[in-house]
Amino acid sequence: MDNGRGVAAPTTPQPHPPHVVLLPTPGMGHLIPMVELAKLLVAHHRFSVTIITLDASSASKAQDALFSSLPDSISTLALPSVPLDDLPSDARIETIISVAVSRSLPHLRDALSRLNSSANLVALVVDLFGTDNFTVARDLVLPSYLFFPSNLLTLSLIFHLPELDATTTCEYRDLPEPLRLPGCVPIPGRDLLHPIQDRSNDVYRWVVHHARRYREAEGFLVNSFDAIEPEAAKVLREPEPGRPPVYLVGPLTQCWNPKADEERAECLRWKAAVSGLEEGGAGYNALAEVASKWKTTN
């Protein structure tokens, strides 16, 4: 722009939009809702997003197709692979994922440091097996949140698991009474999560490890909504010392094809309406509250 003396006036550099890193653990069931979360952050709250995955060599065709459809404001980055050949051949998938996350921490630190130098990085969001990433976020003074792709009953169980581990010695399938969690239906011990049904297996120790670290998060974004779990939602919204706030931002499901049959489209429109994901709804407002916190981070 001319300043009246025939010389172009210097332009004021535009600030970088707030930037969030999402780090899903492997599996389309983890990746799809995180991608939908990224789309909402970009479309409604003017963020830019990087989705970091653990290992490019393990990417499926479905993952590649999903990533190729993303807008420019959502970038992707795969961390280098790490050795896992020392794990037992019968290691559970949750163990493999947890070990891969732990061994990838130096690579994550490098990736976040590079992003921090070029973008307005305001938060790291991991999912349920990614709690060891909190260590890197803490070292970089980066707020860390946990995206929970399952329901509130399961989250309540994970919150309670360290106490359950410390106060019982039997296998959970042998508990004499159902487990009673506030706001949830009683759960017979035999119906608890499969990875915690054998205390002697490494996967049990990993799940308890993650459960103990959950309270290091600054907040939880949960892929659920009030209408489907009203009592659990009410309980988890109440402040509790030492427990991070819980935000219901779901259900985050892959956008449907407008050419899909009318019955399926109507079902998904109902789900969006009751969950409050549309502007002004409860899910929309919950995500807006988190986005507002992130925007004031720096």
- Active-site residue set: 30, 127
d(CA 102, CA 84): 11
| Residue 50: alpha-carbon gap to chain centroid | 13
One-letter identity of residue 198:
D
Token pair listed for 208: 């308890």
Token pair listed for 250: 């779901």
Altogether, the residues listed in the chain come to a count of: 298
Token pair listed for 44: 């409604």
Secondary structure letter of residue 123 according to DSSP: E
d(CA 138, CA 144): 8
Q: Name the burial class of residue 62, with classes exposed (0-12), middle (13-18) and buried (19+) by CB atoms within 10 angstroms of its CB.
A: exposed
Secondary structure letter of residue 178 according to DSSP: -
Query: Which candidate, 124, 155, 99, places its Cα nearest to that of 218?
Result: 124
